[in-house]
């Protein structure tokens, strides 16, 4: 069935790069997403990638997609303390439009 898996926690130092990984199972997903949730807030769409792309870059964010291995990653360059949040990977079910979320990765950025 549909499933999205992420590691639960990542800690980095300010200025380093962060890489958050995600695996998914639904090979028919055409779009994959990264959302950010800051404490006490809703979900903010960071970026998304179409399944026929391998990479997408948007300022400090780089998304890599390995469709063969069903692996998605989000790289944040020059990580700042303001990047501390929970990051959710999600795929969209093509028939219902449902977003299938991973458990979320808590990113802790140490000064």
Partner 1 sequence: EAQVTQNPRYLITVTGKKLTVTCSQNMNHEYMSWYRQDPGLGLRQIYYSMNVEVTDKGDVPEGYKVSRKEKRNFPLILESPSPNQTSLYFCASSPTPQGAGIQYFGAGTRLSVL
Is residue 93 within 8 A of residue 29, CB to CB? The reply is: yes
Closest CB to partner 1 among 35 and 74?
Answer: 35
Closest CB to partner 1 among 18 and 102?
Answer: 102
Q: Cα–Cα distance between 94 and 13 in angstroms, integer?
A: 38
Please state the length of the chain. 111
Q: How far is the CB of 87 from partner 1 (least distance, A)?
A: 11
φ and ψ at 60, to 5 degrees?
Answer: -85, -5
Q: How far is the CB of 13 from partner 1 (least distance, A)?
A: 26
* Residue ranges binding partner 1 (CB under 8 A): 4, 8, 31, 33, 35, 41-45, 48, 50, 88, 92, 94, 96-99, 101-104
């Amino acid at each position: 069935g549909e499933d999205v898996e992420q590691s639960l926690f990542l800690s980095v130092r300010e200025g380093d790069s962060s890489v958050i990984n995600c695996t998914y199972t639904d090979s028919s997903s055409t779009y994959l997403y990264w959302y950010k949730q800051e404490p006490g807030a809703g979900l903010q769409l960071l970026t998304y990638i179409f399944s026929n792309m391998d990479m997408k870059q948007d300022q400090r964010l780089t998304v890599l997609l390995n469709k063969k291995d069903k692996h998605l990653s989000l790289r944040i360059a020059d990580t700042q303390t303001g990047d501390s949040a929970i990051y959710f990977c999600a795929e969209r079910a093509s028939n219902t439009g449902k977003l299938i979320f991973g458990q979320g990765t808590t990113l802790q950025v140490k000064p």
